[in-house]
A and B are shown apart, each in its own frame.
Chain A
Amino acid sequence: MSDTRQAARYTEYHPRWYRPRVSTWWWLGRWPYLKFILREISSVFVAWFVVVLLQQIRALSRGPEAYAAFERWLQNPLIVLLNLITLFFVVFHAITWFNVAASAMAIRFHGKRVPDLLIVGTNYAAWAAISLVVAWFLVRS
């Protein structure tokens, strides 16, 4: 943040130099760029999930009728479609997050670096275990 701000403030008084204009759509050209932007956009869907969750909590707090209305709202085809897209993005977020976990936390054990595959594998195993625990609490027929 501060770097970009400083730079922006600095360039205001800097003589004009040659800087080719980068298109707003620069990220559409190549798959790695597009992947970067898709990963960043996943945050919007994380926020959408929080909105749905808070609606659920509010409906639960208001009583059975309010909750039945909330459940009907979830069955609206547009909401289902939006949630399907959201699922794609949150899974994309999870996969990209776990895959860089090895680079983000270089763990050493007895002076040797723990292999990347082990760290990433542990993350995926924890993901599966946590998902099962959450499902165990929520799936009650």
Chain B
Amino acid sequence: MAKQSNEPALWALFSAGGVMAAFVIPVHLFLLGLAFPLGWIPAPGYEYLHSFVRLPLTRLYLFVLCFLALFHWAHRFRYTLYDGLQIKHLNELIFFCCYGGAILGTVWAGYLLWNFR
């Protein structure tokens, strides 16, 4: 169960994820979610993206991005539920759903990137 000693490590992941998310997610999301689909900027072709993601360094970057961003979400969302909605009686359940979700997402990212062909 959640011991006191877990908290600094979880907070460090939250903080690292916050830095990572702040620096790179806005530009990624603007391009991928808006500028490319709406045709404001020509989207990169399949061949280029595919060979680019195959590079080990790109995959490492994508994995670290997913891992830290998910743990950032898990930590912050956990406290949103505690403080915002005041559902403190579900502490354990929230704890396992948040970090469990982050772990599942990280494993999924690792699986996809490791087996990327």
Mark A residues whose CB is within 8 Å of B: 1-2, 4-5, 8, 22, 24, 27, 37, 40-44, 46-47, 49-54, 56-58, 60-61, 64, 67-68, 71, 74-75, 79-80, 83-84, 86-87, 90-91, 93-94, 97-98, 126-127, 130-131, 134-135, 137-141
Contact = CB atoms under 8 A, between A and B. Distances in A.
Nearest to B95: A1
Q: Which of A4, A80, A134 has the most CB of B within 10 A?
A: A134
Nearest to B52: A137
B45 to A, nearest CB: 7
Interface of chain B, helix or strand or loop or mixed?
A: helix
Interface string B9-46: 00000000111011111111111111011100111111
Contacts of B6: 1
A98 B21 CA distance: 11
Contact of B21 (A27, A84, A93, A140): A93
B27 A130 contact: yes
A53 B88 contact: no
Given A46-B73, A91-B26, A61 B65 contact: no
Q: Which of A43, A57, A75 has the most CB of B within 10 A?
A: A43
Contacts, number: 176
Contacts of B17: 46
Interface residues on B, range: 35 or more
B60 interface: no
17 contacts: A40-B79, A43-B76, A43-B77, A46-B73, A49-B69, A52-B33, A53-B65, A54-B66, A57-B116, A60-B49, A74-B36, A87-B33, A90-B29, A93-B18, A94-B26, A97-B19, A130-B27
Contacts of A90: 21, 25-26, 29
A65 B26 CA distance: 27
Given A54-B112, A83-B29, A141-B42, A5 B19 contact: no
